Structure formats: structure tokens, C-alpha cells
Structure 1
Amino acid sequence: MRKHVLLLMFLLTGFFTTSGYAQNSPEDVTMKSENLGGSVYMLTGMGGNIGVSAGDDGLLIIDDQYEPMAEKISAALDSILKDKLRYVINTHYHGDHTGSNAYMKEVKDATIFAHDNVRIRLLDKEEHKHSELPVVTYSQGVTFHFNGDTLKVMHLSNAHTDGDSVVMFEKANILHTGDLFFNGLFPYIDIDSGGSVKGYIAGVEKLISMINDDTKIIPGHGPLGNKAQLQEFVDMIKQTSAQVKQLKINGLPVEDVIDAGLDEKWKDWSWAFINEEKWIRTLYR
């Protein structure tokens, strides 16, 4: 039941992390807004979850989904607070987190922040707009003092990609993980873009050490989470990784490992984009 509910929810919201679009068209997707307390909100639609800070200083968002969602994101922000969008933080370079960058710069006149490697990878795209590129980049992190809170932006190396950032709202006790957390699902680890299973595990364990049982977690994808769910997530990665590693050490080719499959208890983590086979291939590689 849990598996089917999660799959239905994500398919209905157009949840995919590839550069293409989901089976739904953007026109059919509704942006949903949830107040997490005080000035912090979470927007869900088509692509990565968006974190929002809204208050006297204006608006700041974390990620901006796919390009066709830009006007819907703007309308959702207006429903929260009709004020200037001042800053956009990209947690990494994938199109479901940076697709509306150009709109936010050209139409909303926002300043885009990201890790150095996000700008490099966006520049490497065959077709890109200059306005979609981060204007301010950093190697380790940056701090925003905004709407009565302190937002710590921190780089975690070679995890989901080579340009990942997470954002901690210190006063609100809310963490936006970018794609270092797929709540209840096998994650996508972009090995070809500098990600690694080892780095991903280290990154998630770092996040766990920073938070407490009251911390609300905005995952890159999936419903709002908490520390216990983040711990369950990394435990799954470590245990499935150990299983696949041992089979590889024993000489089994990847196809045989796929045929053998993972422990039955992990079946519910499989979903439309990263099913069990794709997750095993990631771990084996």
C-alpha cells in the first residue's frame, strides 16, 4: 500500500529527476504551498521541492523546478507574499531544480546563487541562456541573514553530484536537502556528474549530525520529512550497498545481481524512475 500511494503521489505531481518531463504536461500540474512555520514554506509541483523564505526582506527560494513551471511558481509565490523575489539558491545543476532560473532572473530580477560547479555544468550544456547561470558562486558555502533567520548554505562534495548544496534555516530548524534526500525512495546518484555512493552516504550522515528530532526536512523529492526518515533512508543505502558489494566481490556480474534482487524489505523503495534494477546498477558501478 505504501508503495502504491507514493508512486501515485509522485506521478500526479510530475515527479521525475531526468531532463525530460513526466507523463503529465506542465499545464496539468498544480503548485501546492505548505507553511512550515513562520516565514518558511514548501512548494511542490513538477520537479524538485522548492523552499521559500517570505517576510519583510522579501522572497528567497531554494530551487525552481522545470522551465514551464516558472509562471506557476511565480503565482504561488504571489499567493504567499506579493513582494520582490530577491534570491534563488540552486542546490545542484539538474534541470528539475534550475529550469526556471532564466525566468527568475529576466522577469523577477532575482540574483541566483549556487556552488561553483553548478555554473560550470550549466555552461557545459550545448544550449543555455546566459540568464540561467548563477551570478554568485561559492566553493564551500554562504550565509544569508534574511527575514529574521540565518540561512546556512553548505556544500557537500561528490554526493548526488559534484555541486550539491543544502540549506539550513537555523531559527526555524528546517533543512532543505536538495537531492541528498529522496523521502521513501531509492535515490538518483549522478555518477557521471561527480556523484558517488560513498560521498552520498557521507553527506547524508553529515546532515543527520546537524539536526534533531524536531527538525523539519524539505527533501529534494517526496513529502516533508524528519530525522527518523532521513536515518531510515541512509540505512537503506548502506545496507543495499553492502549487499551488492559483497555479491560483486564474490564475482557475480551485474546481471546476476539484478536477477538475485535485493532483500524483500526494500521492494517498497522502488519507483518509476529508480526501480530496483537501476538502483542495483548504481550500487554495482
Structure 2
Amino acid sequence: MTHAFSRRNFCLCCIAATTFSATGWLTPREVFAKTGGIVDMIKDSAAKAPISIHKLRGNVSVLEGSGGNIAVLNGADGKILVDAGIGVSRVQVKAALARLGPQPISTLINTHWHFDHADGNEWLHGEGAHIIAHKNTRTHLSSTQRVEDWSFDFPPSPAGAIPGEVMEKSHTLSVNGDTLTLEYYGPAHTDGDISVRFAEADILHTGDTYWNGVYPFVDYSTGGSIDGMIMAAKKNIEASTDKTIIVPGHGPISNRAQMIESFDMLSAIRDKVASLKNKGLSLDEVVAAQPTAAFDNKWGQFVIDPAFFTRLTYVGV
């Protein structure tokens, strides 16, 4: 099964291509300095972006186009959503959900707190969604959060956007003829990431613990770490089989083999950067050594460029 996903739905992808022109790829911090607001740019783009529907297996579909990938399980118990996208996409997302059937929205699961996955919480709650997330996600949504690499302060979310139910290690839902298992592996992309497995459909939504085809972002500002990303990748692999459909937080629908390739890439780069750092090399010296070079043609061609991913890795080893 193949799905023609564009790269529009990557976390930092809605930035105009001209931002990455003559001087090469810029880090999110550099983009912010040049544009005056990377988050505002992403939201402006999301307000106009169309939403594509990709039907996977059983009654599970994915909506692409509003921030992170949104999974939807439809049925008599209502629509169960994994992630909420960006709030300014409300009109497009609501229309896409209506195309899946007349069932009301009943439950929303946040894989983590970032705005491209949880900014739609408030309007979805207004439509009837009961929101579930990890306890750390609720903490982040309830107070001001600064993401240093985006040079942005996120204000506390409105009351309706705050998850009404939280979990710590695992949680199970039996809805619409499927069993959803929510698992927390520990700090990874942030300190509140969870994966969601649809047992009967054999589909795994990884949230941002897996980015398919590009270097991932690691948010150290709210508890993420490169070692945590690698551990989460290992856990995602263990939770899947060769038949499992993988829904990454960003990027095309995937499979276990591609997830293993991502794990191998993360592990290899982490070890190379750690070795150089342990030899006493500074951050700039490690970046200049190009420890990601063997992987850049495949993984380094988008927003998180090789130099920036090297910096993210260096911080955590």
C-alpha cells in the first residue's frame, strides 16, 4: 500500500521555499531571525492548506495537511482522533472529517504538546472531544512554554484545550471494534510523547518519536533527548511487525523496515557525534567533521539540515 504524501505536513515544512535559497538550509532559529516568526508562518500556511484523506486499514484513515499526521478511527462510538493539527485548519479538517461519515467526534488523543499536533484541541473539544494525553503534555499545555530552537514562547492553552484525562505509562481504549493501546516510552522528542497502537487494524501511530525520511527535531526545551529518541525508536520497532502500517508524526505512511532504517541512522550518528565530543572537539569542530555525511543524501534534504541535526545530537551526548 502506498500513499502519495507531500512534505507539506512536516512540523516546520510550511515555510516558503525561498527561505532556504542562496545561503543553503537554515536552522529554525535562523529562519525566525530572518522572518520574524516561524510559528506564525506555519500557521499562515496551514490556514490555506488543503487536507488530504488517506484510508489505511479497517476504519482507520489519516488526514494530512494540518501539522502532524492525524489518524481517525471511525465507527458507532464516534470518531477517535490521534492528534489535532493546527487550529487555523479547522474548516478544512472539519470538512475532511465529515467526508468520513456523520459520526460525531468523541475522543482526541494528543501524542505530545507541540502546536502542530495539539493546537486544534480547543475547537475539537468544542465539538465534543474528550481529550487524553500524557500528564507531562497537560503540564506543558497548561503553562507558558519556550522552545529555544524556534525562539518562541507559547502561552498557556485555553481551558477547553487542556486534556481532561491523563496517563503515565499506558492506557487502553476499546472503541469502534478496535483496541487502542497508548504507550509512554519515556522522554524522547519531548518528555510527554506517546504512541498509539490500533490492535485489530494493526496500525501504529508513533507521534513525533518517528519522522519518516528526514532528520527529526528533538525539543530539549521540554525534556526531549537524542537517546530518548533512539529508545523510542527501538520500542516502536518492538511494537510492530512486518505487516504493521506505521503512521509517523511527520512524513509518508511507513512500515517497520523503514522504521528500522531510521533507528540505525539515529544510532550511528549518535555514536559518531559522541565519539568526536569525547575526544574534546567543540560543537563547531564536530559540525565541521560532518558526522552525518553517510546519511545526508537521504535524511538531510529538508528542514532539519545536517548541521542542525548534528547540533541537536551534540547537546544530548
Q: Deviations over 1:32-81 (max 9, x none)?
A: 01111111001101310001101122101000111101221111110011
In structure 1, which of residues 61, 72, 78 is the aligned counterpart of residue 81 of structure 2? Answer: 61
In structure 1, the residue matched to 2:267 is: 238
In structure 1, which of residues 269, 274, 284 is the aligned counterpart of residue 304 of structure 2? Answer: 274
In structure 2, the residue matched to 1:225 is: 254
User: Structure 2: which 5+ runs fail to align?
Assistant: 14-37, 145-154
TM-score, normalised on structure 1? 0.92
Q: CA shift at 1:20, angstroms?
A: 4.1
Partner AA of 2:88 in structure 1: P
Partner AA of 1:186 in structure 2: Y
In structure 1, the residue matched to 2:143 is: 124
Residues 204 and 246, structure 2, Cα contact 8 Å, conserved in 1: yes
SS in 2 for 1:82: coil
SS in 2 for 1:274: coil
In structure 2, the residue matched to 1:73 is: 93
In structure 2, which of residues 182, 185, 192 is the aligned counterpart of residue 156 of structure 1? Answer: 185
SS in 1 for 2:74: strand
In structure 1, the residue matched to 2:6 is: 9
SS in 2 for 1:220: strand
Residues 171 and 183, structure 2, Cα contact 8 Å, conserved in 1: yes
Distance 2:40 2:172 in 1: 33
Q: CA shift at 1:128, angstroms?
A: 2.4
Distance 2:163 2:275 in 1: 42
Within the alignment, does 1:100 sit opposite 2:120 as a pair? yes
Within the alignment, does 1:48 sit opposite 2:44 as a pair? no
Distance 1:73 1:179 in 2: 20
Residues 64 and 73, structure 1, Cα contact 8 Å, conserved in 2: no
Residues 141 and 156, structure 2, Cα contact 8 Å, conserved in 1: no
In structure 2, the residue matched to 1:3 is: none
Partner AA of 2:140 in structure 1: R
In structure 1, the residue matched to 2:24 is: none
Residues 10 and 250, structure 2, Cα contact 8 Å, conserved in 1: no
Distance 1:197 1:248 in 2: 15
Partner AA of 2:229 in structure 1: Y
Alpha carbons of structure 1 residues 263 and 189: separation in structure 2 relative to 1, 3 Å: closer
Q: How many residues align?
A: 277
Distance 2:294 2:97 in 1: 40
Residues 14 and 22, structure 1, Cα contact 8 Å, conserved in 2: no
In structure 2, the residue matched to 1:84 is: 104
Q: Deviations over 1:137-182 (max 9, x none)?
A: 1111211111101000111211111111100000110000000110
Q: CA shift at 1:28, angstroms?
A: 2.9
In structure 2, which of residues 207, 229, 247 is the aligned counterpart of residue 178 of structure 1? Answer: 207
Q: What root-mean-square deviation, in Å, do the aligned CA atoms of Structure 1 and Structure 2 show?
A: 1.8
In structure 1, the residue matched to 2:129 is: 110
Distance 2:304 2:116 in 1: 16
Q: After TM superposition, which residue ranges in structure 1, 4 or more long, deviate above 6 angstroms?
A: none
Q: Provide the identity percentage.
A: 33
Within the alignment, does 1:140 sit opposite 2:173 as a pair? no
Distance 2:205 2:113 in 1: 16
In structure 1, the residue matched to 2:31 is: none
Distance 2:9 2:228 in 1: 29
My pick for the range that moved more, 159-168 or 15-24, is 15-24
Alpha carbons of structure 1 residues 263 and 94: separation in structure 2 relative to 1, 3 Å: closer
Alpha carbons of structure 1 residues 234 and 20: separation in structure 2 relative to 1, 3 Å: farther
My pick for the range that moved more, 251-260 or 261-270, is 261-270
In structure 2, the residue matched to 1:213 is: 242
